[in-house]
Each structure stands twice: as C-alpha cells, then as structure tokens.
Structure 1
Amino acid sequence: MKKALILASLLALGAAAQAETATYKIDPTHTNATFEIMHFGTSTNRARFDKKEGTVEFDRAGKSGKVDISFDMTGINSGTPAFDKHLSGKDFFDVATYPTVKFVGDKFTFNGDKVTTVAGELTMKGKTAPVTLKATNFNCYQNPMLKREVCGGDFETVIDRTQWGIDYGLAYGFSKEVKIVIQVEAVKQ
C-alpha cells in the first residue's frame, strides 16, 4: 500500500511538472527577423524575412523550453527588388532549391526568470550548424486585447555564412560574418 501511495505521488508530481509547459504560437505581426552584413567595410546591407511561422514550448518554473521557427525564403525583402532577386538566387540562398530556413532551439539559459540565451541548430541550404541566440530583452505579459499571455523578446547572433555554403563576395572583401536580429512575440495557446 505504501509503495502504491509513493508511486501515485510521483506520478502526480510528474503530471504537475509537465502541466507547467505551455505552447505559444509565433505572432507574425509582432515577429521580425533581419540580417545585416557589411558591404565593402563601408555600409551595412540589411534584409528581412517577411514570411515566418513557428511555436515555442516554455516552462518558466522548469527553466526549459523549445523554439521551432521556420522562414519561407520566398519572403526575403531588402526593399530593393533587384537585390531580393540576387539574394534568392544561387549566389546566396538558392531559394528554388532550399525554400525554407529553420531554427530549432532547446537549450534555454536563464538569469532569474529571464531567458538570456537559446541554443540550437540552424538549417539553411541543406546544412545544419549550431547557433546560440542571445536575448537582449525578454518578457511575458498578459495581452489586454487578446486576453492571453504573450512571451517574447529581442534575440541576436552572429554567424559565419560559409558554414552553410554562402561564400559569394568573399573574394571582393565582403564579410563572412552576418548578424541576425530577431524580435519575437508568441501567444499562449
């Protein structure tokens, strides 16, 4: 009888711990992803990814989570159609062959209740490599219009684009380092 009570208690604790993980859906109207690269050491070229979707599983009490976000590369937008066409071509993203970029991160680090980094893997052009996003802001709040909790923040990282086979312009002096900046908000489901 005592063993049955202990087992039931352990199962109840496990269920309670699991119940703390919530799923959040990326809000595309409050999520923006951009990249920046130096152009001949003189100015910074920028573009954004207009089409994105994903989810976040987040357990604040357990200090864990998982983010799974995809970018439809047909939505690349630099504000200049000719540059967008070049970025979509084989010199850069080869969108016809690789239409999606995906980040999956499941290693969250915290400072108190605030997420400070999310580490995971970035898949681009058929190659996957580790990436760590640093949180420059993180917060959860009760959205008064949606009547639901929203969590999000500003995240950034610098990658070496050659890891994914994007080496166009290196011989001209273009940087291989690319800064990625993501502002994200996700709505609790």
Structure 2
Amino acid sequence: MNCFVFAAAATATFAAVTGGIAAAPAIFAQSAQQIPGMQDASRVTAGTYTLDAAHTLVNWEVSHFGFNDYFGLFGNITGTMTMDPANIEAASFEIMVPIADVTVASAGLKDHLLRPGKDGGSPDFFGPQPGMAKFTSTNVMRTGTNTANVTGDLTMNGKTAPVLMAVEFVGAGANPMNKKETVGFHARAMIDRTQWGINYGVPVVGKDVTMTISAAFEKQ
C-alpha cells in the first residue's frame, strides 16, 4: 500500500470512528453525569439494609507451594446490616456465604474443593455439601473518617472462630437502576484456615487465607 492510499484509508477510518462517536451523544451525556455513589457519609440514612447479592463478592487467595498465590471467588452472598451513621459503632452485620458456589479457574480444582473424603475419610477441603459460612459481627470500632475494624464470629465447616475485618466505606447514593439507597464497602481480612479444620496441604499449601470483600447493601 503506497503512502497516499494508506493516508486515505486512515482518514476514512478516523472519519468513521469519530462519526460514530458523534452519532452517540447519549454516551457522552451519560459519562458527564455525576457518579451515583460518593464517599459522603451524609448520604447514608439509618436503617436496615440487605446485601445486593449480584454485586457482592468475596475474593480469597492462598499460597500455592510457595510459587504463587491461587485465587477464588464466593458469590451469591446474602445478609443484612443495621446501621446509623450517627453511631457507627452500634452497627451490626450478619452475612451468609454459600461455600458450594465457589468459583475457581479450574474445574478439576473445584471438584477437589467439594469432593467427599476418600474411603469414608474426611474431605480434603469442604466436601460435597459444605452448607453456608456465616459471619456475625460482635464489635465495630471506628478507625478513621471512612474506616472501621469489624470483629465477628465466622462459622464454617462446623467450627466457629473470631475474625477481624478492616472495612472502608466506599460510597453511598441512589442506585440508578432500581432507585434504592445503596451503601458500599471494601474489606480485607486474613484467616488461618486450620482454625476451621481445613488442614489439607499445610504448609505447602498456605494456611493463611487472605480475603478481599466488595459489598453493596440496599436499604429496605
């Protein structure tokens, strides 16, 4: 292709692209709108909220043989929060996580997480019917303008042990899709899985599991 033909083709392509953009002003109008959620506590009203299961996830990661970390996700999470922005330390949470809905990159590994124990023994990880993990808050302590430490009891695999989560308030506002008042948080926690009887592969598969949580609550 000579320079003239190439330049003509490039000009036509540019015109087509910019013409397409000009033909879609709604996209620009939408992007110019204010983001619905803002990190502004005055937007939060007191009351009871339920988790938006479609937009709440728990990411977990664990060391794999010391080479790298392996990741997975829990979804379809349900729960409630009662909160008054004037008294954050009185807030309470109850969260239910369906362990059986775990998502990982390998179908073989998911089978390993959920398969029964060999020859009638205990499963390596959760087994085929692990039920729900349940987190119930016991204490909320403000640590900054938009942060708090939330302590609670995590029940999983038939055992209960305390967990501390570092929580950040991310944003609040009206969800433009369903108009519900929504409050969002990010949280981070680390647990020792052996406290819940999940001992497989320790120490070559790490016992410390880091959890990163993204949660959206809608007011009822």
TM range (shorter): 0.7 to 0.9
Q: How many residues align?
A: 168
Greater gyration radius: 2
Q: How many percent identity over aligned positions?
A: 33
Whether 1:99 and 2:131 are equivalent positions in the alignment is yes
Counterparts of 2:195 and 2:114, CA distance in 1: 18
Task: Encode CA deviations 1:142-162: one digit per residue, 9 max, x unaligned.
Answer: 323332321121101111111
Which residue of the partner structure matches residue 141 of structure 1?
A: 173
In the alignment, structure 1 residue 166 sits paired with structure 2 residue 166 = no
Report the counterpart of residue 59 of structure 2 in structure 1. 34
Residue 155, structure 1, aligned to residue 180, structure 2: no
1:47 is aligned to 2:63: no
Which is richer in strand?
1
| 1:70–1:113 Cα change, 3 Å | same
Amino acid at match of 2:93: V
The match for 1:120 is 152
Stretches of structure 1 that go unaligned for 5 or more consecutive residues are: 1-19
In structure 2, stretches of 5+ residues that fail to align are 1-44, 116-122
Specify the code of the residue in structure 2 equivalent to 1:179.
Answer: T
Aligned equivalents of 2:140, 2:77: Cα separation in 1:
21
Residue 140 of structure 1, CA deviation: 2.2
Shift of 1:79: 2.3
Flag the structure with higher helix content: 2
Asked if 2 retains the 8 angstrom alpha-carbon contact of 1:94 and 1:125, the reply is no
For 1:2-36, what per-residue CA distance to the aligned partner results, in whole angstroms no more than 9, with x for missing partners? Answer: xxxxxxxxxxxxxxxxxx74111100121011210
Q: Which amino acid aligns with 2:87?
A: G
Change in 2 beyond 3 A, CA 1:181/1:72: same
Partners of 1:128 and 1:33 in 2: how far apart? 19
The amino acid across from 2:78 in the alignment is E
What residue identity is the alignment partner of 1:129? A
- The answer to which of 156-165 and 48-57 deviates more is 48-57
Q: Secondary structure at the match of 2:210?
A: strand
Structure 1 runs (4+) greater than 4 angstroms displaced: none
In structure 2, what is the Cα distance between the partners aligned to 1:138 and 1:166?
Answer: 32
Cα drift, residue 102 of structure 1: 0.9
Instruction: Flag the 1:111–1:145 CA change in 2: closer, same or farther, 3 A.
Output: farther
Alignment RMSD, CA only?
1.8
- Cα distance change, pair 30–115 in 1 and its aligned pair in 2 (3 A): same
Corresponding residue of 2:34? none
Deviations along 1:53-103, whole A, 9 cap, x unmatched?
A: 11111111122211111111221110211101111131111242x311111
Shift of 1:136: 4.2
